[in-house]
Chain A
């Protein structure tokens, strides 16, 4: 029931926001999102699946029984973590927009709240159609957030964002429907229940079918992640989106893609995954290096961070396709960590933008002199993003690379990657340090450079409100950096479930694949 509340409360609040007096809108939205966070926390406490796998928070109601469509919610520990991430980021996003958005505020906060519900729905869905509807519905609020509240090139960016990701997810829908159809042919009754379909697809589908389904699903999720050749909507969307939009885009929306991989691709089509993992891993490695080099030559800070997301999520995908618990743990942690640190970076850039109305590193520089608190946070989150040990980024990056490194070699989960994958991807670590430190060197350090013009009513350095936005993220970064075990233990059961199909599959194909591409 708490799961349903998690969906209903934001939507109800979104409707209510439309009728609240204008001066109370911000506060009301904040309180509503905090209420959602509270519910999410309660759900996390009530949730019984920490560490042991399986589903919790279940709720089911029939919608269209003749087609097997039910409104089924439920969470495993990974989705619960992502729900918590969403619940953490949303109030911050709302709080962070207090001064940035001054026009059409009602609409703005309503869309943000609707977005909360949609994203939570994606993570909580246990019925394929519920998942898909929520997955697609995230586009609508985001589209409006970019198109109405974005910067100069917002129309084009929003259209591109919408159509690109929409096209991808339509292909994913084709894949889903094929699986559902094949399952219905097989068993004689329609069902869209994710566990049912997963069990069916992983066991009863031939490897050719699986490969096609993999292709269709990847088309949807790879665009969302975004994986290397289909990433170009992201820099544009990030650059044009308002601050909160960027934060949510980087923090949660991109995770919908990797979550899709985790929830569907890996367990549903294991045979095809084993076959194609090296290919996808190569794509993600290309993405890591390629995007990192592109980051290097950016002058627009936001674009830089956007490209860095492409690079970072390459690690995430690499970890997923290592197909062992190390990689998967790393990857899921990466989703959360990236949400925290990159989300915070977007907040920081937004705070800078609010003051200087530029994102060009050539125009702004040496802000450590003028904004020491801001600079401290900036350096902190950049370091978290670079993967400084002791902060969150390191653990996940390390585990992803370790997973890829040992895949194909050891333990009960031999994967199909190998040391070379990790070794080449590790160059991305240097490049990440390079471009992020160059960015810090330009905008935080050096002689003070400010564009002319007034900086509005904001204080020179961060206000209390802005610090309040950043502090929870910083705490999260430190906590997950020092005690990642909490998350790792909590998610181990779910990850074992997801990987359940793999050991024997991989072992069977290991002789052919590993000898070819794995160990030299």
Chain B
């Protein structure tokens, strides 16, 4: 009962509580389907290119054009968008109905649900997708005529799936996109299919994601059972009814958020299921940037934000989300500190930042989470693309110990400095976009009441320091310092640079540089929305992103948005879980947390930066000395070792899940062959055979045997007849 009030605000104050689809039927918006269609067209064209063995950059042009078209469409959609949201029906998909009752039909169609949240996501997805495709057109050059078309077809598939994930109006189509991006990820991670590591990583990504997908599937079942629909608008309607809770049993509403969480954790690489993401770096770098940093991995955040009301029904679930997010952030940061592969460091930092986002969701700031998604998309894509440029230029070299002083090399300046901008954002240097978005989350952690949220907050702050350290560890090592480099594995001294005896890195050219610059600008500009004024509701703070979250299901987590305002809150809400309106007793160092966090996180970031500079710029030998010293001490030695080995999580999974199942598979197979088939089936089959063997001598073809059988049989019959005639037939009729 007490939670009913939470759902009224989903419709703007004053509007009657009716499903969106009744209010808006938007056939005039059906051109929004272009966002889905264009990547598909691009997929088909790329497929044709592959079939006809096109050796030019045509696939890249097609894909870039298609994605740019999709981006333009999204932006147009944004400008023609009016709150609170619209449903654009494209075509029917699955409709099963067997009656007219409430739950006697199951319906999931290809329909787009356009509200601000999906617009926010689709815009940066298509925008970044376009940029990264353009980048890839140069990056993938060595594969021209080989896998070039395949690569861009994969990107098209990804964009299609991501768009349907984001824009779907029901959970089933979201599931389609969900698995679709998983498949695209499989496709693209396994792009270098001749490398066993890439194939294994692709497989791992798909399977781990599948585990999450089960959660999503079961959540969809439960949602349909509980609410009778899987469409967002109808779901909202049901949740607004006063008596729905009485109609259903209670355990389902508690289970739904946990299942959704499982799905989100799988896709967004959170603690139990994050292992696939670092391995996914086997894919081409643009893929890592697009899928495994900027867009796909934020699908989990999107899912939770999209189904936020369901999470609010079960407050414990959000606390779990917060803790898992916080711990993942810390864990991944510690692993990231000890890695040497710069792409892997970036991967762990992605995991870590995703942890922040979940922390934000868990502490009731969907705004913060969404904002962090937004900023992170830019700077992380930027960082990955610079890593990619380095990898590209140094023949696959990714070890930060083997490249140094990049900013002094001719042609690499843009790369180095754009990377610097990205690193600043990631490290949370004051007033950069990452700084602003992270602070929102950190502050809310202290503001929101929950079990151990204060500890969690301090852990998050420590993580921020670690982030600054490992980010600049990369930059100082790779871009600063004296010039030194070695070629990577892909360098075979071929005719390009082999004849001079030494290795010459080939610097990125115009396209890559342009994209890097655009992204760097974007990463810096991403700070701006924070300062923009609100349009939807002047009481909100948080600028444009808050606007974008406001019209959606995730509006509960916007600063300044108070359920009290619409008059439906009751006392239980804030004590159970949620904002403290006054922030009165959440002071840190005598300041309001939001203000305090500017100082604290800024300071912590600087400390991390300082350590990075000390160990990796000024006194690089100190870093090795520190490591040696730690390894020499028994009580400390485990730390770097465990960090370098990623806390043994892969080994743990291998020993605890994969191996037992594999052994079980062998046992089952043996059981199948020897017990079921061998003993039961063949055993039964052997009975007649055995009897026949036993009687076989009688029919061995020797004429006497036949005589024995014939005469014996006849005699027995005769004897029986005689006896019967003598003593009477059975039954006494004789």
Binding site for B on A (CB under 8 A): 160, 163-164, 229-230, 232-233, 290, 293-298, 324-326, 329, 366, 368-369, 372, 383, 388-390, 394-395, 398-399, 401-402, 405-406, 409-413, 419, 422-423, 426-427, 429-430, 433-434, 437-438, 441, 444-448, 482-485, 488-489, 492, 496, 519-520
Beta-carbon nearest neighbor of A156 in chain B: B682
Beta-carbon nearest neighbor of A447 in chain B: B194
Q: Among A164, A297, A389, A434, which residue has the most Cβ atoms of chain B within 10 A? A: A389
Beta-carbon nearest neighbor of B186 in chain A: A437
* CB neighbours of B178 from chain A (8 A): 389
A-B contact number at CB 8 A? 162
A-binding segment of B75-83, B95-103, B435-443, B516-524: B95-103
Closest chain B CB from A384 CB (angstroms): 11
Given contacts A297-B669, A402-B106, A444-B193, contact A488 B96 (CB under 8 A): yes
* CB neighbours of A423 from chain B (8 A): 218
Q: Does B576 contact A (CB under 8 A)?
A: no
CB pair A164–B93 under 8 Å, yes or no, is no
CB pair A437–B203 under 8 Å, yes or no, is yes
A483 to B677, CA, bound (A): 41
CB pair B179–A389 under 8 Å, yes or no, is yes
A-binding segment of B26-34, B221-229, B303-311, B495-503: B221-229
* CB neighbours of A411 from chain B (8 A): 98-99, 101, 103-104
Would you list which residues of chain B between 218 and 274 have a CB under 8 Å from chain A? Answer: 218, 220-222, 224-225, 228, 249, 251
A-B pairs with beta carbons under 8 Å apart, 17 shown? A232-B672, A293-B661, A294-B672, A297-B662, A383-B183, A388-B180, A399-B94, A399-B96, A401-B217, A412-B104, A427-B214, A430-B210, A441-B202, A444-B193, A445-B194, A445-B199, A446-B194
Beta-carbon nearest neighbor of A444 in chain B: B193
Q: A426-B214, A445-B202 are in contact. List 9 more A-B contacts (CB 8 A).
A: A294-B672, A296-B665, A388-B179, A389-B172, A390-B176, A399-B94, A419-B225, A430-B211, A433-B206
* CB neighbours of A232 from chain B (8 A): 672, 676-677, 681
Q: Does B664 contact A (CB under 8 A)?
A: yes
* CB neighbours of B251 from chain A (8 A): 520
CB pair A412–B662 under 8 Å, yes or no, is no
* CB neighbours of B605 from chain A (8 A): none
CB pair A430–B214 under 8 Å, yes or no, is yes
Q: Does B196 contact A (CB under 8 A)?
A: yes
Would you list which residues of chain B between 684 and 701 have a CB under 8 Å from chain A? Answer: 685
CB pair B676–A229 under 8 Å, yes or no, is yes
A394 to B213, CA, bound (A): 12
Beta-carbon nearest neighbor of B104 in chain A: A411
Q: Does B494 contact A (CB under 8 A)?
A: no
CB pair B665–A294 under 8 Å, yes or no, is yes
A296 to B203, CA, bound (A): 13
* CB neighbours of B665 from chain A (8 A): 293-297
Beta-carbon nearest neighbor of A387 in chain B: B179
Q: Does B72 contact A (CB under 8 A)?
A: no
A390 to B91, CA, bound (A): 13
CB pair A441–B96 under 8 Å, yes or no, is no
A401 to B95, CA, bound (A): 16
A465 to B665, CA, bound (A): 38
Beta-carbon nearest neighbor of A330 in chain B: B96
Q: Does B402 contact A (CB under 8 A)?
A: no
* CB neighbours of A163 from chain B (8 A): 685
CB pair B194–A294 under 8 Å, yes or no, is no
A496 to B99, CA, bound (A): 10
**Per-position contact with A for B327-341: 1 when CB-CB < 8 Å, else 0?**
000000000000000
Closest chain B CB from A255 CB (angstroms): 21
* CB neighbours of A410 from chain B (8 A): 103, 225, 228
CB pair B103–A398 under 8 Å, yes or no, is no
* CB neighbours of B428 from chain A (8 A): none
**Per-position contact with A for B169-202: 1 when CB-CB < 8 Å, else 0?**
0001001111110010010001001101011101
Closest chain A CB from B145 CB (angstroms): 12
CB pair B224–A296 under 8 Å, yes or no, is no
CB pair B669–A294 under 8 Å, yes or no, is yes
Would you list which residues of chain B between 668 and 717 have a CB under 8 Å from chain A? Answer: 668-669, 672, 676-677, 680-681, 685
Beta-carbon nearest neighbor of B222 in chain A: A419
Closest chain B CB from A394 CB (angstroms): 7
CB pair B199–A484 under 8 Å, yes or no, is no
* CB neighbours of A409 from chain B (8 A): 225
Binding site for A on B (CB under 8 A): 50, 91-99, 101, 103-104, 106, 172, 175-180, 183, 186, 190, 193-194, 196, 198-200, 202-203, 206-207, 210-211, 213-214, 217-218, 220-222, 224-225, 228, 249, 251, 661-662, 664-666, 668-669, 672, 676-677, 680-681, 685
Q: Among A296, A369, A484, which residue has the most Cβ atoms of chain B within 10 A? A: A296
A409 to B251, CA, bound (A): 14
Q: Among A295, A369, A446, A520, which residue has the most Cβ atoms of chain B within 10 A? A: A446
CB pair A390–B194 under 8 Å, yes or no, is no
CB pair A447–B196 under 8 Å, yes or no, is yes
CB pair A482–B93 under 8 Å, yes or no, is yes
* CB neighbours of A390 from chain B (8 A): 176, 180
CB pair A437–B96 under 8 Å, yes or no, is no
* CB neighbours of B220 from chain A (8 A): 402
A170 to B393, CA, bound (A): 71
CB pair B93–A419 under 8 Å, yes or no, is no
A230 to B176, CA, bound (A): 35
Given contacts A388-B180, A389-B180, A484-B93, contact A429 B106 (CB under 8 A): no
CB pair A434–B676 under 8 Å, yes or no, is no
* CB neighbours of A326 from chain B (8 A): 96, 106
CB pair B94–A484 under 8 Å, yes or no, is yes
Closest chain A CB from B670 CB (angstroms): 9
Give the residue of A160, A290, A413 whose beta carbon is less than 8 angstroms from that of B685. Answer: A160
Given contacts A232-B677, A402-B221, A429-B213, contact A437 B193 (CB under 8 A): no
Closest chain B CB from A431 CB (angstroms): 8
Given contacts A232-B672, A294-B672, contact A485 B92 (CB under 8 A): yes
A419 to B207, CA, bound (A): 23
A349 to B666, CA, bound (A): 23
CB pair B172–A398 under 8 Å, yes or no, is yes
Closest chain A CB from B657 CB (angstroms): 11
* CB neighbours of B217 from chain A (8 A): 398, 401, 426, 429
* CB neighbours of B685 from chain A (8 A): 160, 163
* CB neighbours of B198 from chain A (8 A): 445
Q: Among A232, A409, A447, which residue has the most Cβ atoms of chain B within 10 A? A: A232
Beta-carbon nearest neighbor of B669 in chain A: A294
A119 to B225, CA, bound (A): 38
Closest chain A CB from B205 CB (angstroms): 10
Closest chain B CB from A300 CB (angstroms): 11
* CB neighbours of B98 from chain A (8 A): 324-325, 411-413, 492, 496
* CB neighbours of A329 from chain B (8 A): 96
A91 to B179, CA, bound (A): 33
CB pair A296–B207 under 8 Å, yes or no, is no
* CB neighbours of A295 from chain B (8 A): 665
A293 to B667, CA, bound (A): 9
A465 to B625, CA, bound (A): 67
The 8 A-B pairs at the shortest CB distance, nearest first, are namely: A389-B176, A232-B677, A445-B193, A293-B665, A405-B221, A297-B665, A296-B665, A325-B98
Q: Among A326, A434, A484, A519, which residue has the most Cβ atoms of chain B within 10 A? A: A434
* CB neighbours of B200 from chain A (8 A): 441
Given contacts A325-B96, A448-B194, A488-B96, contact A412 B669 (CB under 8 A): no
* CB neighbours of A422 from chain B (8 A): 218, 221
A249 to B733, CA, bound (A): 55
Beta-carbon nearest neighbor of B105 in chain A: A411
* CB neighbours of B172 from chain A (8 A): 389, 398
A175 to B666, CA, bound (A): 37
A410 to B199, CA, bound (A): 43
* CB neighbours of A233 from chain B (8 A): 681
Beta-carbon nearest neighbor of B666 in chain A: A297
* CB neighbours of A401 from chain B (8 A): 217, 221
Give the residue of B202, B228, B668 whose beta carbon is less than 8 angstroms from that of A290. Answer: B668
